[in-house]
Chains A and B, each alone.
Chain A
Amino acid sequence: MRNRMQIVAWIYVLPAFILLGAFLVYPVLRTVYWSFFGRNSESYVGLDNYQYLFTQQDVLIVFRNNLLWLVVFTGVTVGLGLILAVLTNLVRYEAVAKAVIFVPMAISFTAAAVIWRFMYVWNPASFEQTGVMNAVITTFGAEPVSWITNTSVNNYALIVAGIWMWTGFALVVISAGLKGISSEILEAARVDGANEFHIFRHILLPMLKPILVVVTVTLVINSLKVFDLVYVMTFGNFDTDVIANRMFKEMFQFGQFGRASAIAVILLVAIVPFMLFNIRRFLAER
Chain B
Amino acid sequence: MARVFYENVYKRWKETVAVKDFTLEIADKEFLVLVGPSGSGKSTALRLLAGLDSISDGKIYIGDRVINDVAPKDRDIAMVFQTYALYPHMSVHDNVGFGLRLRKMPKDQIHEKVVQAAQVLGIEPLLDRKPGQLSGGQRQRVALARAIVREPKVFLLDEPLSNLDAKLRVQTRAEISKLHQRLGTTFIYVTHDQVEAMTMATQIAVMNFGVIQQVGTPQFLYDHPTNIFVAGFIGSPAMNFFEVTVTGDSDQVCLVDDNGLSLPVPAKKRRALEKYRDKKIVFGIRPEDIHDPNFVPPETEVAPFDAVVEVTELMGNEVFLHLLRGETKFLARVDPRTVAKQGTKMELMVGMDNMHAFDFESEQTIFTPEEEEPEIPKDLKRSPATGVAEGAWVTSRGSASTERAEPAPEEEGKVDLDRLVEEEPVEEQVARRQSEVPQGQADED
Q: Are B89 and A192 interface neighbours, CB within 8 A?
A: no
Contact of B102 among A185, A187, A188, A198 (CB under 8 A): A198
Say if the beta carbon of B103 comes within 8 Å of chain A: yes
The residues of A that contact B71 with a CB separation of less than 8 Å are: 190, 195
Say if the beta carbon of A285 comes within 8 Å of chain B: no
Say if the beta carbon of A189 comes within 8 Å of chain B: yes
The residues of A that contact B98 with a CB separation of less than 8 Å are: 189, 192, 194, 202
Which stretch of B24-32, B74-82, B233-241, B337-345 is in the interface? B74-82
Interface residues of A in 149-195 (CB under 8 A from B): 182, 184-185, 187-195
Say if the beta carbon of A206 comes within 8 Å of chain B: yes
How many A-B Cβ pairs are below 8 Å?
66
Say if the beta carbon of B184 comes within 8 Å of chain A: no
Q: Within the assembled complex, what's the spacing in Å between the Cα atoms of A10 and B439?
A: 74
The residues of B that contact A191 with a CB separation of less than 8 Å are: 50-52, 72-73, 75, 77-79
The residues of A that contact B356 with a CB separation of less than 8 Å are: none
Say if the beta carbon of A203 comes within 8 Å of chain B: yes
The residues of B that contact A189 with a CB separation of less than 8 Å are: 87, 98
Known: A182-B83, A184-B85, A203-B87. A190 touches B103 (CB 8 A): no
CB A151 to nearest CB in B, in angstroms, measures 44
The residues of B that contact A193 with a CB separation of less than 8 Å are: 73, 99, 102-103, 150
Q: How would you classify the secondary structure of chain A's contact residues: helix, strand, loop or mixed? A: helix
Q: Are A194 and B85 interface neighbours, CB within 8 A?
A: no
Interface residues of B in 23-43 (CB under 8 A from A): none
Contact digits for A198-219, partner B, Cβ 8 Å, 1 yes 0 no: 1000110011010000000000
The residues of A that contact B82 with a CB separation of less than 8 Å are: 184
Q: Are B99 and A207 interface neighbours, CB within 8 A?
A: no
Q: How would you classify the secondary structure of chain B's contact residues: helix, strand, loop or mixed? A: loop
Q: Are A192 and B81 interface neighbours, CB within 8 A?
A: no
Q: Are B81 and A187 interface neighbours, CB within 8 A?
A: yes
Q: Within the assembled complex, what's the spacing in Å between the Cα atoms of A194 and B102?
A: 7
The residues of A that contact B50 with a CB separation of less than 8 Å are: 187, 191
Q: Within the assembled complex, what's the spacing in Å between the Cα atoms of A185 and B81?
A: 9
Q: Are A187 and B73 interface neighbours, CB within 8 A?
A: no
Contact of A188 among B75, B85, B89 (CB under 8 A): B85
CB B134 to nearest CB in A, in angstroms, measures 15
Q: Within the assembled complex, what's the spacing in Å between the Cα atoms of A187 and B150?
A: 16
Q: Are A185 and B73 interface neighbours, CB within 8 A?
A: no
Q: Are A185 and B85 interface neighbours, CB within 8 A?
A: yes
Q: Within the assembled complex, what's the spacing in Å between the Cα atoms of A188 and B83?
A: 11
Say if the beta carbon of B374 comes within 8 Å of chain A: no
Q: Within the assembled complex, what's the spacing in Å between the Cα atoms of A195 and B99?
A: 11
Given contacts A191-B50, A193-B73, A206-B89, 20 further A-B contacts (CB under 8 A): A187-B50, A187-B79, A188-B81, A188-B85, A188-B86, A189-B87, A190-B51, A190-B52, A190-B73, A191-B52, A191-B73, A191-B77, A192-B73, A192-B99, A192-B146, A193-B103, A195-B71, A198-B102, A202-B87, A202-B98
